[in-house]
Structures are given as structure tokens and as C-alpha cells.
């Protein structure tokens, strides 16, 4: 999302650097990294009228499957503000309190709800906006010029689920147009590439350097159209054009558990089926506690969604913070993929700060807290990107929300945490002999996760495990905060599930 090709990394040293181990609005606060556009006019859509488009955000309680839902509710309206660069701002308004909640540019869970997406799109049409609509559920790309549909194209393929290019629902802007973009990740050329949201893109049929085309089963790249289709859109669209993306959330599967009463003694914990959201055992779900380096899961999410991952990061005379295993002090540059490996495998504080510096440290932390609000993590606060500060707090319930989001949309993050080195076409694996702090010895069902430890937080972890339950392979998540024996607590929770639900 930000061009960092000509920026070097400058890091700050903090006195407490050591390896000790709102319901809020959905729009980022204006500050560093933002370029607000002056308002021209404002239009209020009809409210309290039969048939009028009315919307309302509701955060359901954790017992109701922790979903952020959007309901049609009389009395609430949608405001669209026209900007000079044709960039609309979508705002939910409560007519009784006048409270305004704006949608930021970036991934937005609300736009995965079909009704809200349709209402937003129709508002753009009514206001005669020029914009691009990408409906991944219907596999259609539509280009509107001043509210008039000029072209509709079929989507032939999308990025692999959970990969870098898996495009989440959201409101974006076109950032670049490149007639022939080479991806070092996939080692292919992407014709007529239209990039938005940093790592997401529309493009034609990928080609290898020898000019041969990829097979239909190829999953690299972003949203693929035919070459003729993408050429029409490429010629018509301009940089800064809004991009409205709809992608429905994964459907909850039909697998059910027989209820059982948990009897586990741990301070803060949760174990749940990550695929259908069934909670199998839990302590108080919304009791806040320090989370230490589990913070780095959110750091990885922001990096994946806001920084161009197909790049190298320059490191120029930084004053590094302390990591358990220093690896960057003699480096002049490093790939973003390798930084994520250091961040997630060895829990590198250095890597966390280098990543955060790409947006500016304060802006990056602001993005972390904004993302938490977007995910409904109302009891979570981040104060640094590494988790060193004890003000990084969350709850089992909030970490459940984060884990499901990563599992559903950014699963490669968990895949990185499970491997010291990962075979990949991406530029990475620059550090040999990485030590994986996340694994538990003699536990073969581990499929990824992140651990942390400080004096105040105790031992913390979020982890995924595959279990055989009722004849099916299920993926369960475990959240532990304030543990004194993390390995034993994880094993005890897994044993509880196997003993009570495997019949």
C-alpha cells in the first residue's frame, strides 16, 4: 500500500528494550501516512422510509459465534461524501445519537455481508461515482463510470485461499497500473496488472518468462480475467479509482460436537473448533491479560495487508532493539518474506520493529488497533509491534476472533509459524538454522501458532492442532494466557477434547 522503494529503515532505541521474557469507528484516524482529500458535498440517503436503504452495525456476543454482522434496521442511514479524487467515504449514521462510523480504505468485514455490500454499491451508483466493483461470490468484475455500468467481465480465477493475494472484502483505491508486472513470488508476468490495497490485483492470463502461459489450475497471482477483458478495464480505469470488493465469509460447516462440561484449571484459556466456531472449553472469555509476543500475529496481519510483500527492505544504520537471537545487525537489506519468518518463527523483536518502520512505527501501531476494532476485538490494545510492553493486552475471546480471521483469510501466516524453512517460490529463507519457538516437543498434531513470555504475561500462546474427532480430522485452536506450564496446559486441553469428543 505504501511505496518504500526509496526509503531506508531507521529504528529507535528504547530504554526498556530487552528480551524479557471503544467500540470504535472503522476508519483510521487522520495522521501520518494519510492523505485526506477535501470534501466537496455530502448526501444523506433516505431514512425511516419504507424501502429506503438502512444499515446498522451490531457486534454479537461471543456466545453467538463471535460474528460481526450487518442488519437492515429502520432508523439508520448511510452517508456518502464525494471527494475531489472521486473517492467516496461511506459512513453509517445513527439518527438518534448522530454517531458516525466510517469505513476505512482496506479490508472490511462488513462488506462480506451481501446486503451491506449491495447497499454500498447502489449508493455509489446513485451518487454517480466512477468505481470498480469486484464481486468474488458472483465471479464478476464491473466498471461503472459516473454511475453507469460500462463493462461486466467474468473472473476466471482468484488467488489461493489464505495466500498473499487472497482478496478480502473491502473498500480500496487503484494504486498502480502496470502493463506487464513480474511477480517474483509466482515467477510469472501478469499482463495489464491493476494493483489495489498493496498486494491485491486484477490481471490477465499469467505468462512464464519464456512466454508460455500457465495452466488453468495455476493459483498464483490475484484476480485473473481474460486478456481481452482486463485490457478493456485497464484502458478505462484511472489511478485512485475506488474499488469495492465483496467476498462472502466461509460458511459454517455442519459438524457438531456433543456437549461436555470442561474441568480444566488454567487462568485464561480457550479451545475451539476453528472451522465451525464451537467452543469446547473456556475460562472467562473477556477477561483482559497481557499477551506478550502473541502480539506478533497482528503484526504479521498488518504487514500482509498494508505492505508490498514482493519487495526487499533496506536497513540503514539502525539502532536495533534486543532479540533473543540477533540476526539483522549485519544486514543492509532483507526480503519481507524472510522478515516474516524471523518474526513468526523465532519471535524476533528486531523483525517486528523493521516491519513496523515501513509505515512509520506510530502509524503501524495505530493500524494494529484499528484492525482489532474492525474484527470486533473490543478488549484488545496494542502498544508496540513486538509485544514487549505489558500494555499489549487481549482476552481469550478476542484472540479467538483474530485466530479465525487469520485462518480464514491469511492462513499462510500460520504455515510460516509451523516451519523453520518453507519451500516457496517467494523470496525468503535467507536465514539458516532458524529455531522454532512455537513447537511443542513430541506433539505431532501442531499446525501453527505463536508463543510469548514476559514476567507480567507469564507464558502465552495461540496454537492450531489437528485431531481425529468422531471419524473426522478437525482443526482446533488453543488460546492460553498467564500460564506457568504452557506445554502441559496445551497437552491437558487436547487430552480433554480427545477424551470427551472423540467417540
In this structure, what CATH number is given to the domain that contains residue 164?
A: 2.40.440.10
User: 417: which residues sit within 8 A by CB, 6+ positions away?
Assistant: 344, 345, 436, 438, 448, 449, 450
**Residue 2 counted as domain residue:** no
Q: Does pLDDT of 369 surpass 90?
A: yes
Mean pLDDT of 291-306: 96
Same domain, 221 and 280: no
Residues 201 and 285 reside in one and the same domain: no
Same domain, yes or no: 241 and 279: no
Same domain as 337, residue 217? no
Q: Report if residue 12 sits inside a domain.
A: no
Neighbours of 91 (CB within 10 A): 19
Average pLDDT, rounded, for the chain: 78
* Residue 96 backbone dihedrals phi, psi, to 5 degrees: -85, -35
Residue 23 lies in a domain: no
Residue 306's domain is classified under what CATH number? 3.40.710.10
Is 41 exposed, middle or buried (CB count within 10 Å of its CB: 0-12, 13-18, 19+)? exposed
Using alpha carbons, select from 94, 137, 102, 66 the residue that is nearest to residue 398. Answer: 66
Read off the pLDDT of residues 403-454 as tens digits, 9 standing for 90 and up. 999 999 999 999 999 886 554 444 456 777 788 888 888 888 999 999 999 9
Most confident of the following: 115-129, 220-234, 430-444, 489-503: 220-234
**Taking a C-beta distance cutoff of 8 angstroms, is the pair 356, 364 a contact?**
yes
CA dihedral 113, 115, 118, 120 (to 10 degrees): -80
Q: Which of 246, 277, 302 is the last residue of a domain?
A: 246
pLDDT at position 440, please? 84
Tell how far CA 97 is from the center of its chain.
31
Residue of 446, 441, 488, 490 whose CA lies nearest to 465: 446
Grid cell in block for residue 62: 461471543
Distance CA 477, CA 411 (A): 13
Lowest mean pLDDT among 67-81, 289-303, 456-470: 67-81
β-partners of residue 89 are 81
Same domain, 305 and 431: yes
55 beta partners: none
Tell which of 182, 213, 246 closes a domain: 246
* Inside any domain, residue 92: yes
- Domain assignment present for residue 5? The answer is no
Residue 239 has pLDDT above 60, yes or no: yes
Contact 43, 127 (CB under 8 A): yes
The string of pLDDT tens digits covering residues 9-51 is 333 333 333 333 333 323 333 333 333 333 323 333 322 222 3
Q: Indicate whether 272 and 242 sit together in one domain.
A: no
CB 338 within 8 Å of CB 421: no
Residue 345 pLDDT greater than 50, yes or no: yes
In eight-state DSSP terms, residue 63 is G
Reduced to 3 states, what is the DSSP secondary structure of residue 273? strand
Cα Rg of the chain, angstroms: 23
Residues 276 and 342 reside in one and the same domain:
yes
Do 119 and 56 fall into the same domain? Answer: yes
Handedness of CA 256, 258, 259, 265 (dihedral sign): negative
Residue 254 confidence (pLDDT): 65
Q: How many CB atoms lie within 10 A of CB 351?
A: 31
The candidate with the shortest Cα–Cα distance to 46, out of 89, 90, 76, 71, is 76
* Sign of the C-alpha dihedral computed for residues 220, 221, 225 and 227 taken in this order: negative
Number of structural domains in the chain: 2
Among 180, 183, 217, smallest CA distance to 200 is for 183
Estimate to the nearest angstrom the gap between the alpha carbon of 472 and the chain centroid: 28
The model's confidence at residue 259, banded by pLDDT at 50, 70 and 90, is low
Position 32 scores a pLDDT of 36
Pairwise CA distance, residues 188 & 364, whole Å: 31
| Adjacent-strand bridge partners of 142 | 133, 152
Q: Say if residue 367's pLDDT is above 90.
A: yes
Assess whether 308 and 228 both reside in one domain: no
The cell for 67 is: 460474528
220/298 same-domain check: no
The reply to whether 323 and 471 lie within a common domain is yes
Share of the chain above pLDDT 70, in %: 72
SS3 of residue 106 by DSSP: strand
The DSSP bridge pattern shows strands 242-246 and 131-135 to be parallel
pLDDT recorded at residue 416: 92
Contact 210/76 with Cβ under 8 angstroms? no
Over range 364-388, report the average pLDDT. Answer: 94
H-only helix segments in 106-226 = 114-126
256 assigned to some structural domain: no
Are 180 and 322 contained in the same domain? no
Q: Does 105 have pLDDT greater than 90? A: no
Cβ(346)–Cβ(434) below 8 Å: yes
User: pLDDT band at 179, cuts 50/70/90?
Assistant: very high
Residues 6 or more apart from 228 whose CB is under 8 A from it? none
**Domain membership flag for residue 112:** yes
How many angstroms from the chain centroid is the CA of residue 355?
Answer: 15
Match 492470463 to its residue by C-alpha cell.
Answer: 205
* Band of residue 63 on the pLDDT scale cut at 50, 70, 90: very low
Domain-embedded: residue 355: yes
- Please answer whether residues 166 and 159 qualify as being in contact, where contact means their C-beta atoms are separated by less than 8 angstroms: yes
Distance CA 347, CA 325 (A): 9
Report how far residue 449's alpha carbon sits from residue 28's, in angstroms, rounded to the nearest whole number. 28
Residue 169 CB-density burial (10 A; 0-12 exposed, 13-18 middle, 19+ buried): buried
The cell numbers describing 432, all together, are 539458516
Domain interval for residue 394 = 268-501
Amino acid at each position: 500500500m505504501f511505496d518504500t522503494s526509496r526509503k531506508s529503515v531507521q529504528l529507535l532505541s528504547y530504554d526498556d528494550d530487552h528480551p524479557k521474557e471503544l467500540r470504535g469507528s472503522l476508519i483510521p484516524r487522520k495522521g501520518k501516512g494519510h492523505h485526506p482529500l477535501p470534501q466537496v458535498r455530502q448526501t444523506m440517503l433516505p431514512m425511516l422510509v419504507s424501502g429506503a436503504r438502512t444499515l446498522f452495525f451490531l457486534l454479537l456476543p461471543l456466545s453467538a459465534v463471535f460474528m460481526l454482522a450487518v442488519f437492515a434496521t429502520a432508523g439508520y442511514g448511510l452517508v456518502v461524501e464525494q471527494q475531489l479524487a472521486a473517492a467516496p467515504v461511506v459512513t453509517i449514521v445513527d439518527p438518534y445519537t448522530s454517531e458516525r462510523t466510517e469505513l476505512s480504505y482496506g479490508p472490511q468485514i462488513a462488506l462480506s455481508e451481501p446486503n451491506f455490500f449491495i447497499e454500498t454499491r447502489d449508493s455509489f451508483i446513485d451518487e454517480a461515482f466512477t468505481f470498480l466493483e469486484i464481486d468474488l461470490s458472483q465471479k464478476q468484475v464491473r466498471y461503472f463510470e459516473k454511475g453507469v455500468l460500462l463493462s461486466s467481465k467474468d473472473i476466471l480465477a482468484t488467488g489461493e485461499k489464505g495466500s498473499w493475494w487472497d482478496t478480502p472484502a473491502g473498500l480500496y483505491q487503484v494504486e498502480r497500473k502496470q502493463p506487464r508486472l513480474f511477480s517474483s513470488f509466482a515467477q510469472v508476468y501478469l499482463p495489464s496488472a491493476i494493483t489495489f490495497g498493496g498486494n491485491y490485483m486484477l490481471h490477465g492470463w499469467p505468462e512464464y518468462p519464456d512466454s508460455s502461459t500457465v495452466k488453468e489450475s495455476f493459483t498464483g497471482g490475484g484476480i485473473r480475467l481474460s486478456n481481452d477483458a482486463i485490457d478493456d478495464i485497464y484502458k478505462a480505469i484511472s489511478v485512485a479509482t475506488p474499488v469495492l470488493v465483496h467476498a462472502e465469509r466461509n460458511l459454517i460447516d455442519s459438524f457438531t460436537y456433543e456437549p461436555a462440561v470442561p474441568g480444566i484449571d488454567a487462568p485464561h484459556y480457550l479451545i475451539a473448533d476453528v472451522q465451525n466456531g464451537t467452543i469446547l472449553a473456556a475460562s472467562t472469555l473477556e477477561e483482559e491479560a497481557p499477551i506478550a509476543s502473541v502480539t506478533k500475529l497482528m503484526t504479521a496481519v498488518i504487514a500482509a495487508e498494508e505492505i508490498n510483500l514482493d519487495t526487499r527492505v533496506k536497513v540503514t544504520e539502525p539502532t536495533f532493539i534486543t532479540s533473543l537471537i540477533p540476526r539483522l545487525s549485519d544486514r543492509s537489506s532483507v526480503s519481507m518474506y524472510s522478515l516474516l519468518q524471523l518474526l513468526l518463527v523465532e519471535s524476533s523483536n528486531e523483525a517486528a520493529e523493521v516491519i513496523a518502520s515501513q509505515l512509520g512505527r506510530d502509524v503501524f501501531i495505530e493500524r494494529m488497533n484499528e484492525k482489532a476494532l474492525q474484527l470486533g476485538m473490543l478488549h484488545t490494545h496494542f502498544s508496540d509491534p513486538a509485544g514487549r510492553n505489558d500494555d499489549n493486552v487481549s482476552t481469550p475471546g478476542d484472540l479467538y476472533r483474530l485466530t479465525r480471521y487469520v485462518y480464514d483469510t491469511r492462513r499462510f501466516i500460520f504455515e510460516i509459524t509451523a516451519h523453520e524453512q518453507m519451500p516457496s517460490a517467494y523470496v525468503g529463507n535467507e536465514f539458516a538454522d532458524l529455531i522454532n519457538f512455537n513447537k511443542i516437543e513430541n506433539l505431532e498434531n501442531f499446525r501453527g501458532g505463536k508463543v510469548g513470555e514476559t514476567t507480567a504475561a507469564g507464558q502465552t500462546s495461540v496454537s492450531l492442532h489437528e485431531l481425529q474427532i468422531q471419524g473426522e480430522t478437525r482443526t482446533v485452536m488453543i488460546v492460553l494466557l498467564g500460564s506457568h506450564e504452557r506445554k502441559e496446559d496445551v497437552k491437558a486441553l487436547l487430552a480433554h477434547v480427545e477424551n470427551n469428543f472423540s467417540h
